[in-house]
Amino acid sequence: MSYALSVEPANWWVGMKKNTITLMLHEQNIANTQFKLLPYQGVELTNATRTENPNYVFLHVTISDTAQAGTLKFNSSDNNNFSFSLLERTKNSAEREGFSSKDTVYLINPDRFVNGDKQNDTVSGMLEKVNPTFKGGRHGGDIQGVINALPYLKDLGITQLWLTPVLENNMPDYSYHGYAITDFYNVDPRMGSNSLYKSLSIKAKDQGIGLVMDMVLNHFGAEHKWMKDKPSKDWINFNGEFKNGKNATSHARQTIQDPHASEYDKRQFNDGWFVASMPDLNQRQPLLSEYLIQNALWWIEYADLSGIRVDTYSYSDKAFLTAWTKAIMDEYPHFNIVGEEWTSNPAIASYWQRKKVNQDGYTSSLPSIMDFSLQEALIQALNEEESWSTGWVKVYQSLANDFLYPDTDNIMVFADNHDMSRVYTELKQDLAKTKMAMTMLLTTRGIPQIYYGTEVLLDNTPSKDHGDIRIDFPGGFEHQQANAFTGEDLTADQHSMHTMMSALLHFRKTSPALTNGKLTHFSPKNGVYSYARLSDEQTVLVFLNKNAQTINQELDYMKEVLPHNTKAKDILSNETHMLKSKLTLKPMSATVLVINK
């Protein structure tokens, strides 16, 4: 097989802290080619690295502070010359603000959200065609659809978008989810293009919405050119072989922290493949490590990102993870990165957060982590009968474990996501419970993440198939009657849920107590969980009543956060209450009271 010359990355920027970059060149028998950089002030080709594969050369280029934007010209001994662009950075790029507890993140599976461009549903050269009637197939949603939905998302009160991966996934089937990437530098043409993705970022920012990119460091798609032509023999773990599952990951994430774990078990977790279609990358390979670091910095700068979500975070080599996150945070000190560590054990999850002092001496640079403990506890709390060990106490205990985290404000909280049944489904299609769940997530500590369609009660009952969990958003596709964008043909419950969530989201955007206030919670009593968010300017009180009857809640226990005879407004009902000795709580309800000082 012959290969045309490819150069990755396609460009870089002047004024970056990361001023030594590595260009990956791929072409048939390129290893014997010698390269020379024509004179360019402030830029030097320092050396080249070659591996045992004759089809790759890695050029190491240093860009000094004196370099200006322009075009680098590389001449080669076989006259296959190429140019490389150095660009100006966007003003104040390094000082960009990442997503934070001031935000609410809206998670979208783009293929299932809105079909904004029917012309790209099926694209020549892509292995999988559109198949909207198959739950595991491509349904046609795309980046243009997300752009079209921006006014709706702004009206809802969203401030950040997290899209599951939109990069090329040229796989023969189940490519819609995006996690088997076959090109780390190009958007899948069925989703749009790099320029359209950049346009989404610009147009979202115009609506006050940031863009969070979903990145995959642990694995890639088996149709990537690296499987046919590995850059080096150690580029892929277990010699690039799945061996009928013998080299599959154990998913035993506790081996990373376990002081008694064997090296065999550690390797089986870190180096093992998810499935045959997702080969596992060896981040201990220095050239691959550099490639992944540069790729992340390139997308942040190119698309003006406000954050990154890292898939299967702990499955990658942990020394590499520190280097990767540190490189990003050094370049963008106010940026944010959240890692997926799917465990309900906060002792394991907290290990990865920046500034955690770990027993084994491991130092992480990851700012944020996902709170699977609270997600699990919340579902259990709302489905269980109340007792000393069940019900709301599960949530209370989960949050009580916050002493394990160095930064509890920078934890991402959620009721569901693209890999689990929807919250409305898990709560047995109970509107009142779903409202309580979302009220809690939007008022507790941390950064709330909402899965698309929660605001209109999307449901995957009775199936747990991922294709049903990632169902089409109502109004995003021609065949649907219900339309969440216009409200047409939505049920009364869907309208009620949407109204409540929008009210909370808009209040949250302007509430100092919810965005950066201290959390003080009280041990659940008689089916009621209550807590306060406290800032200098404002107090927010939250009461979650799981009882099927009205409760006259005694307030004496809240004296430390609630002055006597205080007037408060219920932001969900707009009622005003004089808080004396008792507060009436409606059956199966969430009450959110605000006291402005």
Share of the chain above pLDDT 90, in %: 97
CB 106, CB 74: distance < 8 Å: no
How, if at all, do strands 35-37 and 70-76 pair?
Answer: antiparallel
Q: Which candidate, 567, 444, 440, places its Cα nearest to that of 500?
A: 440
pLDDT score for 563: 78
Task: Give the active site residue among 214, 340, 341, 426.
Answer: 340
Tens digits of residue pLDDT in 537-592: 999 999 999 999 999 999 999 999 997 778 999 999 999 999 989 999 999 999 99
On whether residue 552 sits in a domain, the answer given is yes
Burial classification of residue 337, based on how many CB atoms lie within 10 Å of its CB (0-12 exposed, 13-18 middle, 19 or more buried): buried
pLDDT score for 564: 73
Task: Give the active site residue among 188, 311, 317, 472.
Answer: 311
**Residue span of the structural domain in which 37 resides:** 6-88
Domain boundary among 55, 88, 121: 88
Q: Could you give the CA distance from residue 434 to residue 576 in angstroms, rounded to a whole number?
A: 24
Is residue 389's pLDDT more than 80?
Answer: yes
Domain boundary among 88, 104, 132: 88
On whether residue 546 sits in a domain, the answer given is yes
CA dihedral 319, 320, 323, 327 (to 10 degrees): -160
On whether residue 169 sits in a domain, the answer given is no
Q: What is the number of structural domains in the chain? A: 2
pLDDT score for 245: 87
Catalytic site includes residue 95: no
Band the pLDDT of 4: cuts 50, 70, 90. Answer: confident
How, if at all, do strands 167-168 and 160-163 pair?
Answer: unpaired
On whether residue 445 sits in a domain, the answer given is no
Is residue 516's pLDDT more than 60?
Answer: yes
The CATH number of whichever domain residue 62 belongs to comes to: 2.60.40.10
Lowest-pLDDT choice from 160-164, 371-375, 502-506, 593-597:
593-597
pLDDT score for 3: 74
329's tokens: 């945070």
Tens digits of residue pLDDT in 283-342: 999 999 999 999 999 999 999 999 999 999 999 999 999 999 999 999 999 999 999 999
Share of the chain above pLDDT 70, in %: 100
Mean pLDDT of 188-192: 98
Is residue 1's pLDDT more than 60?
Answer: no
Q: Which candidate, 331, 351, 135, places its Cα nearest to that of 257?
A: 351
Domain boundary among 88, 109, 136: 88
Estimate to the nearest angstrom the gap between the alpha carbon of 450 and the chain centroid. 11
The SS3 assignment for 133 reads coil
On whether residue 558 sits in a domain, the answer given is yes
Band the pLDDT of 2: cuts 50, 70, 90. Answer: low
Length of the chain: 597
239's tokens: 């010699």
pLDDT score for 565: 76
On whether residue 305 sits in a domain, the answer given is no
On whether residue 297 sits in a domain, the answer given is no
On whether residue 233 sits in a domain, the answer given is no
Mean pLDDT of 391-400: 98
Tens digits of residue pLDDT in 432-447: 999 999 999 999 999 9
Band the pLDDT of 5: cuts 50, 70, 90. Answer: very high
Band the pLDDT of 200: cuts 50, 70, 90. Answer: very high
Catalytic site includes residue 478: no
* Mean pLDDT score of the chain: 97
Residue 536: CB atoms within 10 A of its CB come to: 9
The CATH number of whichever domain residue 532 belongs to comes to: 2.60.40.1180
Tens digits of residue pLDDT in 239-256: 999 988 889 999 999 999
pLDDT score for 337: 98
| Residue 446 zone, left/alpha/beta (φ > 0; ψ -120 to 50; rest) | left
